[in-house]
Each structure stands twice: as structure tokens, then as C-alpha cells.
Structure 1
Amino acid sequence: MKFELATRNHAALTAVVESLVEQNIASRIAAKDHTLWGPAAESEASIRLGWVTSAQDSVALIPEILELRDEFRNQGISRFVLCGMGGSSLAPEVITKTAGVELVVLDSTAPDQVAAALTSLEKTAVVVSSKSGSTVETDSQKRAFETAFRANGISPTDRIVIVTDPGSPLDQASREAGYRVFNADPNVGGRYSALTAFGIVPSGLAGADIAGLLAAAQQISSTLGSDSLDNPGLWLGALLAKTPSPQGFKDKFLIETDQLGGFGDWAEQLVAESTGKEQKGVLPVVVTKSAPELANIPADTLSISFAAEISGSEDAAFEGSLGELFLLWEYATVIAGYLQGINPFDQPNVESAKIAARALLDSPVAAKAADFAVEGVAVTSYGFDVQGDTLAAAVQSLLDKVGEQSYISVHTYLNRAEYPQFEQLRDLLAKVSGRPVTFGWGPRFLHSTGQYHKGGPRQGVFLQITGEHGHDLEIEGRPFTFGTLIAAQAAGDAQVLLDNNLPVLSLRFSEPLSGLEQLKKVLG
């Protein structure tokens, strides 16, 4: 592991790290000291520190994973789909991308994205990952595959593999039904689960070198648990939580991960969901090398890059293997929580969006009606009035809400495999606004930055995009479809943001690509 710092506040940062060393913070984490984050966090922390030794504990799973991988290969099964949300999907996605092996990650309720995953079933096996099994997205995806397999004369128990906590409702029901089950460490929260069964089962089945991944993490474990000024976890934790700026401590940072695809999305969830609460926190902003923010970094923002040398614009650069980086960021995140006085293991605001979505599924008429529609775009504003009746007026009215410390967040509830062009909006909005911009695919971001948006500093300005999905898809045994589910999730989240006094502009496109072109023209 190599790391370099070029922050202008190096002296202040050094003082923070020296204090962490004096307090034995790293070794206390390594010893799983659940008292570190204060009395209020003790009960949660006492059952959430298993990740510290996951790299060692998970080695025992490798033989069974590889045996099942070979069994599938001998049956001609070469396509693997992962049904999971948040930590259950983000880590396997970056592991398999880095390894150069194929894994179809289904972390959406967009009916066309689900339908696209329900193909090539003759050569497909599915991993369903959920700590409890109660996550509505994952449960719905599992039902869709069960229905599809049966319709094609394939037994679901032959093709679906379950990853869950021991004794969970999903664990019990799956074993009774005859599914193959891998149990994860119950003392690890979802976003810290990269090196547990949630990370290595789907990755190993798809062909990634999971033994090498765990070995790399084990190799750096002693360094990250040491009370030393050479510990990169202490420096990164201090950088995230305690880097001074003219406006106080920096609370947003730019992650440039061009050379490590998918890692930014994983780190985004880990840091935002762990720290974004009590109107505090750190917001990761995932960018590419061409991002407008990197050319003119705002005063309340810092820049971090991976697998690269310091180029002069970054505050810090880290170079290491994926296993090392996973454990580094887990240590740094809980250290940042300690420095900010935050419990890094709970997510008190995530449930609010789920409750709102459920209410709208039960009573769809409660959804807010559109303010107006123009040229195939239905416009709905939450928390502010649109000054005009055009798309340009709606966008400008939202941008008028952007202040000197704001960030903009784009939430796109569409098929991310079909419409990757929507990610262009991130750079366009950053250029127009001069502020950091995050981009999230709905509903997966609800299990990621969704906690920060509602629990962190009240600085967000939100652009929500929804659209037609081509066709809907039934969910066996449920009174709602995938189309109604994703619509309820979008409308429910917008309402919860409004309840937190945050402005939201929702745009529904009758034809997504045409609507995107209109929006790009407005942004100029």
C-alpha cells in the first residue's frame, strides 16, 4: 500500500493523526473495542465489528464456493446474476470488474432491467444476497427468477444460491425449500461486508480470484491495526473527517477512480451511509479525470485518487490492491465516525424512504400530481415553486436553490444498462452550477447515499428523473408490479426529502432519450 498527501493543511492533519496514535485508536479497532464510539453506539457496535477479521474468517468458505463453481461449470452454466442491494451488490460488482470476469448485477426494480436479466436461463445461475431477506427489491427479484425458471422447466433450487445471515427468515425458509445457502458473518453490517460471503460468493462463482483478494487484505491488516504514524488508515480517516478549510471542516470529497471501475460507488455507500447522520457527515462524489470539479476544486471539497501517483491536483492518492483498499476504507470510515462523534454502524434515515414507498404502494392516489407537462416531460416540484411552465424554467428554478455550500444530486430511476447516457448529466450540472454533483441510479442509491441526503447536513438540491419502462412485469405473490414498485420508490423518496426541507425537481420522460436531449440542451 502506497499513499501520498499533498493537502495544504498537512500540519493540522498531522496533529489529528498523532492524537489518534496516542489514543491507540487503530489497535482498539483491531481488538474490536465496541466502546470506541461512545455509550449510545455500544449496542450496535458490539455486533458490527466482525469486518475487522473478515479476511481471515472468510477463508473457510473458499473450498465450498470453488466446488460449487466447478459444479456449475460442468453443467454448462457460465452466466451468473446477482440479486442484491447496497453492500450486497456494490462490492461484488467492483471485485468482478477488477478481475475482468462477468457478473450481471441486478440491483434495480426497473421492469425492463429485471426482464433483461431474465434471459439465457439455460446457462444462468443466480445468487440472491440479503441479510434478512426482507429487502423488497431483492425479494421481488428472487420471485421473478423463480417464476422464470419454473416457466422454462428448470427447478429454482438447482439454480438459485442464497447468501444471508444465519437464522434469518431467508435462511430458514431457503433451507426448508431446498436451496443452497451460504451464511455470512452476522456481526458485519451490509456496507462493511465486502470480504464476507456477500462479497466472495458471487465473485468466486463468477471466476474472480477470491483467495488472492482475502490474502491481500490479510497482508495489510496488521498495518491498519497499528498505532503508528505510518498507518494509512489513520491518515485517510483524519483526511475525511478533519481537514480544515476557510468554511470549517471539509464535508465533501471527490473520488477519482478511472483506473478502478466501480470502487467509487462502493466507497460512496460505505462513507455516506456510515457518516451521514445527525446533520453531520462526509459526502463522497464519484468523478472521472475529466470532471469539472477537478479543474476548480471548491473550498469545502477535497480530492482523492486511487492506483495513481499524485499529479498536483489531489489532496491524496492511494495505490494498492483491491483487498487492501477495501480494508483501508473500512478502517478509515469508522475512524472518521469516531472523529466526528458519529455511530458509523447505524442508518437511521434509510427506513424512512421504505416506509414512504410502502404507503404509496398501498395508496397510489396519494402521490403528488405533476405541476405541468410539456413536450413529453411531466414536471413535479417539491419544496419550491417553478417560475414558468417550461423545462428550462423548471431547471433554472431548481438551480436557484443551489447555494455556496450546496451539492446537487441526480437520482435516475431507469434501466442503467440501457441508459448509461444519463450519467452525462453529472458533469453538465457540475459545470453549470460550479458545485459538486453526485449521480445515483434509483432505487440502489437509497441503500447508499440515501442516508446522507436525509441524515447529513441540509445542503442537498435534488434532480429526480423517472420514465417509461417499455413494459411492466408482474411479481408472483405480490399485489404490485415492478413498474408500480419503482414509481412508489421514486415518489416516496421525493416526499421524504421534502419532509426534510430539501428541494426536489422530478422529471418524468415519456421517452427517456428524447427527454435527456431536451435536458442537455437546457443545461447548454
Structure 2
Amino acid sequence: MADHPGEVAVTINDERLSEEAAPLVGQLVADRAASRLTSQDHTLWGEAAEAVAAIRLSWTTLHETSRPLLAEIDALRAELRAEGVDRVVLAGMGGSSLAPEVITATAGVPLIVLDTTDPGQVADALAGDLDRTVVVVSSKSGSTVETDSHRRIFAAAFEAEGIDAGSRIVVVTDPGSPLEDLAAGYRRVFQADPNVGGRYSALTAFGLVPSGLAGADVAALLDEAAATARTLSQDSADNPAVLLAAALSAAHARGAEKVVLADTGSGITGFGDWAEQLVAESTGKEGTGLLPVVVEGPEAPGFADAGEDATAVAIGPGGAVSTSGSLGGMFLLWEYATALAGRLLGINPFDQPDVEAAKKAARALLDNPTEQAGSGQSFLDGPIEVHGAPDGVTTLVEALQVLTGSAPEFGYIAVQAYLDRIADASAAVLRPELARKTGLQTTFGWGPRFLHSTGQYHKGGHQNGVFLQITGYPETDIDVPDRPYSLGVLQLAQAVGDGQVLSGLDRPVLRLHLTDRAAGLAHLVHTLAEVSR
């Protein structure tokens, strides 16, 4: 960690990379890119990006403009505690949930995060003490299907317990959104800054409200960001954001299109998951970009043995590039560096042109649920239904062998687990196992939350990925009030819909549906032992 609150540091430890990055550092300094970004110059990314950039740059001053929120959050927290309400549930996806999860986990305060459509995980949240529960419903657009489903389910649960739902729901959304219109009878509505995109919103109401209500010191977070803001605005060769942007872009120029993130003792919990969305969704478009690969630690497959197609970036000391600092400072460092990398890569870091495709496909399947089985051959291998295997393939090991073998030399495997990330947490072992067996960079994402993160890169970035979807029958299901579907139906529609979009881009997709989740995961891990590349 850095020595002073808010201080951030970036060190390029690889001599070759340092030499390659030097001209790009000089370019950013000569272009006054850092100071122009601080002054919210929307012309930095070219004419085509100007309209979007013009309404997406307010994050550079959030350490100042978010200050009025602090008293409001403290007052609401005190009110709720006086009523015996001290259990905070956050219903939000992507930028509405990732930052609060990092903030509260690092602070060591409890926050229940619902960024899922898995009925088991939602049921566990419902099973807690509702008398002590407040639900923060966070959605920038105000129309996020997962978050709307959570809102409906919790409102019904409160009413069933004789609790006034309106007194227990807090809303965070953009001004004028459909959610704001619905929230007239709710406990409180916090309007977020509409000129900040979701993935840059850590220091807006989306990050601060749920974290502050849970007990995190969000004032200190803003202090940390403020302490580093001046450094990041400087047009100098030792600006940490300039160094990080140049290093990632220089590596990409020679083929290192993946950024392997490992925590090496930063003191921050889960930062890689937040940075994953920021980098993937900001850069993964127009057939280019940087794919974050979040790994289990510095000894994990893919980090210490990163090949020519990847750059090992440490959250803490070590790696080809090391980054360090306080949490507030690190949020701002990575936001600056990602935006500057967008300029060097020649893309607009503030749009997400391919995210909507999977949502549309899922909606179409909800309208026609008989199509949810998906296309392609299907067969049963033990407790696993195999969907989408090529003709002639009759076993799970063959299907996995074909999938991994179809990845090009410097491609990647994306494991997408549409399961309960608490009860089915063992699924995460699939990432290191596949990486070890195949030698390919391998990502792991919980569905559908990754659709609001790496989902953009999968469709818009380098088209060299292969996709392993894991779905499963839920033990119980939950109907969504006033909607013609359950969470289980929605979850499967999201998986199959995204698979259809990927297949339409000629990317290999294999879906494994677990008839028994525990037994299916055990069978899958056992079968992986027979896979080779």
C-alpha cells in the first residue's frame, strides 16, 4: 500500500514493457491528456465519441461533488438504526453493485449483494430477518430486469410479513428514470449524477449510499480520492494513471490483449472484480480491447506464467506492472488510466454498444419459453445435460475437448456460471483447472452479473474466445410478482440468450445444465482431469 492516504503508485517492473511504454507516456504528456481529462474535455477520443463523452465525464470531480451526500446518508442510517433496521440488502447489477461490494468488504462491514437471478441466492436473502432489513434498489436506467425483479419480490415479502414495504426500500437511480417515477412511496430516493456512466460510478450515490448505510466510512473514501486527484491530473511522465495507461496500451500493441489481475497484498478485498468491468466494458469494442482475467492470487495459473498475449498486473507489489494505494485513490487511478488507454487504443471508453444484444435475446426467450432449450445437439452425461455439442460428440469429455481445442493459440476460455455464487461457490475452481489443463487464459464470471461487465468484451472485443456456460435446475423457484416468469425461467433465458448472440458471432458455445448442482459440479471437475490441449 502507499504510505499516505489516497497516495497511489504504479511501477512498470518489466524492462521491455517500460521501454515500449515510454513513447506512449510522452504522447499523453505532450497531448496534455491528463489535464484535459480532468477539465472534462470531451474531444479527447475523437469526433465520433464526442456526444457520449460530453455526458460521461463528471466522475473526475466526484470527490468534491459527492460531499453533500454524506450528511444525507448518515441521517438515513441513524433513522434506520433507531428503528432497529441494520441489515442492508443491495439489489443492483454491474456498476450498481461491484463498487459497494468492494467498499464494504474492505471495510469489514456486512452488505448482502443481490446481483443475480438465481432463485436460491435470492431465497437466502429473503430468509434473513426482514424486521431488520432495508433494501437498496440501485439502477441507473431504472429498468434493469434483475433489479426490478428483486424490488417486486422484496416488496411482496415485506407486505406478507406485515411490514410497510415503502418504509424499507431505498432507491438510487438517475433523475427522471422509470424507477424514480415508481419510487414516490419509498423511504428515500437518491438521485445519482446522470453524467457518470455506471462503471465509473464508484464515488456517486451508487457506491456511497449502500456502503454508507452498511457502515463503511464513505467520507474517508472521498478524502482518499481527493488526495490523489491532483497527482492524476498532472501532465507529467510520473503520473501513475499515465504510466498505467501507457503500459497496458503498449502491451496491447504487441499482442498482449489480456490483463491478468491478481491481488498481491493490497489490503483491498475484491478490487479485481470491480476493475474487470471498468476495463472490459470500456475497451472491449470494435474488435479490439483489453480482457481482464481476474485470478485467485499471484501463484495462480495465468499470472506467474503469463504468456505473450497477457500482461500480469498486480493489485499490490509484483507483476509486470504493480499498482497500489488506498481504495478511494485506486478507484480514481484505474478510472483515469482506463479513459486514457481508450485514447491510445482509438476507442470510446464510455459506450457499450454490444451489451443490449444479450438483453434483447433474453427478452425474446421470455416471450417464447419453449425455445429456451437452445439449439444444437443435446445428450445426458451423468448429472449433466450437454447442449450445443457438435454432431457425433457423445460424451462430456469429448465436448469439452472440442470446445477447448477450438480456441486459437492466443485465445481465451470464458467460464460463465449461472448458479448461486454462495451455495455453488465451488464452481470457481473451474477457472484455474481449465487454465492449468489448456494453457489458455481463462476467465470466470457469475451469470448474469458478468453480462453487465465482461459481456461487452465477449461480443465487441477480440473475437478469439470460447464459452463454457454452466446452468442448473434450482431446488426451488421464485415467481416474480406481476410478471409472467419466475427467477429460474429468467436466469435460463439470460444464459441461452447470450449463448445465441455469441453463436451468431461464430464463437463456440457449450452449455452444461446440471440436473443436480452439487453432483454435476463434482462430475464436471472430475471430467476435466481427462481434458488436454
Into which bin does the TM-score normalised by the smaller protein fall?
over 0.9
Matched, 1:183 2:183: no
Residue of structure 2 in register with 1:229 after alignment:
237
Matched, 1:334 2:339: yes
Kindly state the Cα deviation for residue 157 of structure 1 after the two structures are TM-superposed: 1.2
Find the residue that maps to 2:352 and give its secondary structure: coil
AA in 2 matched with 1:371? S
Residue of structure 1 in register with 2:258 after alignment:
252
Aligned mates of 1:85, 1:302 — CA distance in 2:
28
Kindly state the Cα deviation for residue 295 of structure 1 after the two structures are TM-superposed: 3.4
> CA deviation digits over 1:477-520, x for unaligned, max 9?
10111111001000000000001110011000111121111111
Aligned mates of 1:57, 1:254 — CA distance in 2:
33
Aligned mates of 1:329, 1:206 — CA distance in 2:
25
Residue number among 17, 28, 40 corresponding to 2:36 in the alignment: 28
Residue of structure 1 in register with 2:273 after alignment:
265
Task: Please say if residues 380 and 386 of structure 2, whose CA atoms lie closer than 8 Å, have aligned partners that are also in contact.
Answer: yes
Kindly state the Cα deviation for residue 5 of structure 1 after the two structures are TM-superposed: 1.2
Residue of structure 2 in register with 1:60 after alignment:
68
> CA deviation digits over 1:56-81, x for unaligned, max 9?
11111000101111111111112100
Find the residue that maps to 2:157 and give its secondary structure: helix
Aligned-residue Cα RMSD (Å) equals 1.2
Residue of structure 2 in register with 1:343 after alignment:
348
AA in 2 matched with 1:187? N
Residue of structure 2 in register with 1:83 after alignment:
91
Instruction: Report sequence identity in percent.
Output: 52
Matched, 1:393 2:424: no
Aligned mates of 1:3, 1:353 — CA distance in 2:
36
Residue of structure 2 in register with 1:4 after alignment:
11
Matched, 1:291 2:297: no
Residue number among 441, 448, 452 corresponding to 1:436 in the alignment: 441
Residue of structure 1 in register with 2:132 after alignment:
123
Find the residue that maps to 2:306 and give its secondary structure: coil
Aligned mates of 1:443, 1:386 — CA distance in 2:
28
Kindly state the Cα deviation for residue 132 of structure 1 after the two structures are TM-superposed: 2.3
Kindly state the Cα deviation for residue 222 of structure 1 after the two structures are TM-superposed: 0.8
AA in 1 matched with 2:166? T
Number of equivalenced pairs: 515
Residue of structure 2 in register with 1:203 after alignment:
211
Aligned mates of 2:130, 2:477 — CA distance in 1:
20
Residue of structure 2 in register with 1:114 after alignment:
122
Residue number among 52, 55, 66 corresponding to 1:47 in the alignment: 55
- What does 1:97-496 correspond to in 2, within 5 Å? 97-119=105-127, 120-175=129-184, 177-243=185-251, 248-257=254-263, 259=265, 260-287=268-295, 288-307=297-316, 309-310=317-318, 314-367=319-372, 368=374, 371-381=378-388, 385=390, 387-496=392-501
Task: Please say if residues 9 and 244 of structure 1, whose CA atoms lie closer than 8 Å, have aligned partners that are also in contact.
Answer: no
Residue number among 37, 45, 70 corresponding to 1:37 in the alignment: 45
Task: Please say if residues 402 and 433 of structure 1, whose CA atoms lie closer than 8 Å, have aligned partners that are also in contact.
Answer: no
Aligned mates of 1:78, 1:425 — CA distance in 2:
36
CA shift in 2, pair 1:244/1:266, >3 Å = closer
Kindly state the Cα deviation for residue 387 of structure 1 after the two structures are TM-superposed: 4.7
Aligned mates of 2:33, 2:138 — CA distance in 1:
32
Structure 2: any 5+ residue segments left out of the alignment?
A: 1-7
Which structure 1 residue ranges, 4+ long, deviate > 3 Å from structure 2? Answer: none
AA in 1 matched with 2:514? F
Kindly state the Cα deviation for residue 289 of structure 1 after the two structures are TM-superposed: 2.3
Task: Please say if residues 298 and 435 of structure 1, whose CA atoms lie closer than 8 Å, have aligned partners that are also in contact.
Answer: no
> CA deviation digits over 1:220-260, x for unaligned, max 9?
10111110111000011112222267xx2321011002543
> After alignment, is 293-302 or 57-66 more displaced?
293-302
Task: Please say if residues 255 and 308 of structure 2, whose CA atoms lie closer than 8 Å, have aligned partners that are also in contact.
Answer: no
Residue of structure 1 in register with 2:24 after alignment:
16
AA in 2 matched with 1:414? L
CA shift in 2, pair 1:386/1:241, >3 Å = farther
Aligned mates of 1:58, 1:40 — CA distance in 2:
30
Find the residue that maps to 2:235 and give its secondary structure: coil
Residue of structure 1 in register with 2:3 after alignment:
none
Task: Please say if residues 386 and 397 of structure 1, whose CA atoms lie closer than 8 Å, have aligned partners that are also in contact.
Answer: no
> CA deviation digits over 1:335-381, x for unaligned, max 9?
11111110111101000000000000000122325511121211112
Find the residue that maps to 2:66 and give its secondary structure: helix
Residue of structure 2 in register with 1:498 after alignment:
503
Aligned mates of 2:183, 2:17 — CA distance in 1:
53
Aligned mates of 1:398, 1:335 — CA distance in 2:
36
Find the residue that maps to 2:303 and give its secondary structure: helix
Residue of structure 2 in register with 1:513 after alignment:
518
> CA deviation digits over 1:247-291, x for unaligned, max 9?
x23210110025432110100000000110000100010012231
Task: Please say if residues 17 and 250 of structure 2, whose CA atoms lie closer than 8 Å, have aligned partners that are also in contact.
Answer: no
Find the residue that maps to 1:233 and give its secondary structure: helix
Task: Please say if residues 103 and 211 of structure 2, whose CA atoms lie closer than 8 Å, have aligned partners that are also in contact.
Answer: yes
Aligned mates of 1:315, 1:477 — CA distance in 2:
52
Task: Please say if residues 251 and 301 of structure 1, whose CA atoms lie closer than 8 Å, have aligned partners that are also in contact.
Answer: yes
Aligned mates of 1:225, 1:389 — CA distance in 2:
58
